[in-house]
Structure 1
């Protein structure tokens, strides 16, 4: 018989009411057959609390961190010590060491998790009227009962034609701004001289596995072949593209340039987002920190931009082909810019599931080490039109 799942519940003890809720929460886990551990249940007089916590976290399959205002403050405090801070440091150290241990946030109150949890899955328990649904979701995950959404087959690559044209790329510079390190200023006129096809969605895990095999997919968020592939570095994108070109020898596929990506994302618009400047509309078009619930989502579930492209904002960052360089000092009128020939960082566009509204703007770009992998980085591809 398999051993029960070991779960350590990390919590900053507070008021009688909140403490009672946490005990009830942990009891529910135990009734479901999970070995849920709370220090107040097991530490006895004379025992070392630190030794107890260290041993339990070393043995735990999963650490659940109860997110409250006090727990976040305790973890992020500059002051040394504190049991809950020690617990988070222990759990984070195991994760950084590459151990197969999950760290999940349990939102009980507040609006921001501690920095250690901002790229981790969380479950929302802030609304007591929704306790049963939230607990069912958590238990389904912990006990491996998650049923993937109905999927008849992985989505084939669909293409959207992007016509040639000119646009203003970037963001106008503020007066007297220092542009030496600016990511998106000054703006400049760019012409895309040839039409191209761009994948309608980021490349999905099903599409990635189809060409490179299941073992090649090391995405963090799984259970659905139509989630975007993530945790890919720049060379992973090139491996996929080489395989794609090998399967379609009469066609040429590649990453979009940064200019092509922004041109397609804007889709003829000049506002901050392709739907305008009202960021309260963003949840209709993007999975980002306010609605992603700490994870990626199957592609195509948010509304498309005017060209019919989905997930250009949020869900996963997208590698493009350019090496990074500031816009300052470049020509004001460019045709098919490719970026510098060499560099230290590759450009990424679009923002991801754990980013704010700022990162999802059409002009926003960031840069990353081409060897860097992360559970929020994916890509989409261009098919050239002969």
Structure 2
């Protein structure tokens, strides 16, 4: 397949960003105070930093909208990834256990909601309109700041069968679509939002525990903390309607399983024994293929053992896109269960990641996925949109 100049630019994005004279990390330096306070709050979660300041919760608004979400500070520390072989619910792909260090970070209080994701979905029409008007066009000079938006749903009745309320978790998006959402949001806000690694996700879910669940080993207590199969027959619940874990994070178990950036490996974490990543952000197995990749936390469609802190869900594009009438099948959407239980949550590092690193969190590393995207773009069924801090207002004006 011949690549368009845009795709060629995208494939070479990481090294280009690494050599950029004005990096995203530099451009967001003025945003570094977001979530930082000079005094410890009288109540609520906070994380003391070495310079005497404190990480605190903060609320972010999506530019051009009234839609907001809350980020919670999570302290750094050390933990053991995975499940011990002698544990009651041990599954082969959850071992061997790996000791890791974790740096402080902010984690979204809840899963990404439909009101948030629908604003990103709206960008498909916005980008098309910009293209037709000849404004905010994407070329090689600004491709590093571009994203794709998910195509319109062929049959919304499947995705929305169990609800699409603003307060429910958004689901059925692919890992690539979730990555592009975080890039879109980061470029508009100037704040480095992204998906987590598997290790970062498990650390946030455990919240300092070593038990099967963040509340302990007793699955009978799950009713208070999670939407799962026995109590969610009508679909996912409203985000944040169950008890949080000790870090103040809701729905880390159940409701929607949550994408990580990691490729799934049947032999668990054997690869980490060889690479010895040391810290959770570096504990990343970048996907070479569209699937299998890893979602964590289990969903409203699953039973308690699948909602444990260490439980892993491997994606399967053949199964999850089995009802997709398009060819090639969509790189943005799934159509078939268990995808109606798969969403994602926003993470943000205390210290901005280098451009070369953050670009890996935002862009597909699978060549097959890039080919599928390019196929849609070349056929006019999708396109790229330039994203900066003026996009929200520009998109808002289109609807006025």
TM, length-normalised to structure 1: 0.55
| 2:233 matches 1:293 | yes
For the residue of structure 2 that corresponds to 1:290, the secondary structure is helix
- Aligned match of 2:278 in 334, 350, 354? 334
For 1:1-386, list aligned pairs within 5 A. 156-174=68-86, 182-192=92-102, 194-213=103-122, 219-220=159-160, 221-249=162-190, 251-325=191-265, 326-328=268-270, 330-331=272-273, 334-336=278-280, 337-343=282-288, 344-369=291-316, 373=334, 374-386=339-351
Aligned to 1:117: none
Q: Any conservation in 2 of the 1:294–1:354 contact (CA below 8 Å)?
A: no
Unpaired runs of 5+ residues, structure 2, are 1-64, 125-149, 318-330, 352-400
Secondary structure class of the residue paired with 1:183 = helix
Deviation of the 1:212 alpha carbon: 3.2
| Residues 303 and 155 of structure 1, relative CA distance in 2, 3 Å threshold | farther
CA contact (8 A) 2:257 2:295 kept: yes
Q: Which consecutive unaligned segments of at least 5 residues does structure 1 have?
A: 1-152
Q: Distance in 2 between matches of 1:246 and 1:333?
A: 28
The alpha-carbon deviation at position 223 of structure 1 amounts to 4.8
How many residue pairs get matched? 229
Cα displacement (A) at 1:174? 3.8
- Does the Cα contact within 8 Å between 1:272 and 1:362 map onto a contact in 2? yes
SS of the equivalent of 2:246 reads coil
- Which piece of structure 1 moves more, 322-331 or 194-203? 322-331
Maintained 8 Å contact 2:78/2:101? yes
Structure 1 CA distance for aligned equivalents of residues 164 and 272 of structure 2: 45
Q: Distance in 1 between matches of 2:278 and 2:173?
A: 30
- 1:311 to 1:257, Cα distance in 2 relative to 1, 3 A: same
- Return the structure number with greater relative CO, CA threshold 8 A, min gap 6: 2
Structure 1 residue 329 displacement after superposition: 5.0
**Bigger Cα Rg:** 1
The 1:333–1:320 alpha-carbon spacing in structure 2 relative to 1, beyond 3 Å, is closer
Q: TM-score normalised to the size of structure 2?
A: 0.53
2: distance between equivalents of 1:293 and 1:357?
14
Query: What whole-Å deviation, never above 9, does each CA across 1:198-232 have from its counterpart, x for those lacking one?
Result: 11101000011223328757542325211000111
Which portions of structure 1, spanning 4 or more consecutive aligned residues, are displaced by more than 4 angstroms?
A: 214-218
In structure 2, the residue matched to 1:100 is none
